[in-house]
């Protein structure tokens, strides 16, 4: 009985051998390494998470920008100004009761 490898001629089949090695190389790198499929999935999930974080931060920025616009002299909102003064400076009206929680 003759073996496949005993009759395998490298000179005749070098293109086949090169193709097989190339397929093995790319198959290995498909599953392992920085350009692999699992790494791609991890990057996609991180991208989704970061997009959600970005949306939250953009909404927060919009709200803060809105408050800043309301505090400008040309568009001054008296209620917002009073609220900020009370919060930042601790102003209290005479008829108010202060409750301190510890």
CA dist list (Å): 29 to 11, 15, 20, 21: 28, 21, 14, 12
CA dist list (Å): 81 to 26, 71, 85, 90: 64, 7, 6, 13
Predicted pLDDT of residue 5: 59
Give the model confidence (pLDDT) of 23-75 as tens digits: 999 999 888 888 889 999 999 999 999 999 999 999 999 999 998 888 788 88
Q: Say how far apart CA 6 and CA 58 lie, in whole Å.
A: 69
Contact in structure between 33 and 40 (CB atoms under 8 Å): no
Report how far Cα 10 is from the mean position of its chain's Cα atoms: 50
The ranges assigned to domains in the chain are: 9-89
Model's pTM, two decimal places? Answer: 0.53
């Amino acid at each position: 009985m003759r073996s496949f490898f005993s009759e395998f001629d490298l000179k005749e089949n070098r293109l086949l051998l090169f193709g097989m090695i190339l397929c093995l190389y790319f198959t290995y790198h498909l599953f392992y390494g920085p350009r692999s499929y699992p790494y791609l999935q991890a990057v996609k999930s991180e991208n989704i998470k970061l997009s959600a974080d970005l949306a939250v931060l953009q909404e927060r920025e919009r709200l803060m920008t809105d408050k800043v616009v309301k505090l400008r002299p040309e568009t001054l909102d008296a209620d917002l100004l009073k609220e900020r003064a009370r919060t930042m400076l601790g102003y209290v009206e005479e008829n108010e009761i202060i409750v301190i929680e510890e």
